A and B are shown apart, each in its own frame.
Chain A
């Protein structure tokens, strides 16, 4: 069964330092991977996705993620954290099996709370 793991409940980073939020996945077939961010009492906002091609994916707000097939990981990164990056981050995966309307379910991790301190 497909699954997503975010091993850290919370990540603490000082402003200006690089940040990493970890995600590992398990799927049958090729994975389609996503990162979303959620601010308090709001919906999820899309940050970036990996479908195919370059393993380093660049997204919104200076975030990027590195797809590593051998380690089944898709860690979210940013070279220099901002206090405004503090939020809840979700990794998600869709089984990339034969496309038949693209209706495979999106499976989300439990989320990682990022706290960036001034």
Chain B
């Protein structure tokens, strides 16, 4: 089945550690996104990528890093510089739009990161 897969579902991090969250899609989508979800704050954009080997900072990129070496994969690293990393992280993808039109984003099932 086509879809977008995030792993792991739950992740525990010690203070000062870097951790990497995986996001893989087999939908042949060009654009991929990482959002952070905190209670009462909705979804905030961390990074997004429009094409392989290119990505842009979102609204809360500090303390995070990404790479886009393959179209299918957009891993997110939460570095030790992120002071409050405990949150639910969501990855999404969308196809490239040519001409007039719009499509919805497809979301993974999320990774819950907890600092212990």
Binding site for B on A (CB under 8 A): 6, 9, 32, 34, 36, 41-46, 49, 51, 90, 94, 96, 99, 101-103, 105-111
CB-defined contacts of B98 to chain A, threshold 8 Å:
99, 101-102
Contact in complex: A94, B50 (CB < 8 Å): no
Is B58 an interface residue when CB atoms closer than 8 A count as contact? yes
B10 → chain A, closest Cβ, in Å?
9
Distance A62 CA – B110 CA, assembled complex (angstroms): 26
Instruction: Assess A90 versus B50: contact at CB under 8 Å? Given A43-B107, A99-B100.
Output: no
CB-defined contacts of B58 to chain A, threshold 8 Å:
105
Binding site for A on B (CB under 8 A): 4, 6, 30-31, 33, 35, 40-43, 45, 48, 50, 58, 88, 90, 92, 94, 96-110, 112
CB-defined contacts of B31 to chain A, threshold 8 Å:
102-103
CB-defined contacts of A9 to chain B, threshold 8 Å:
40
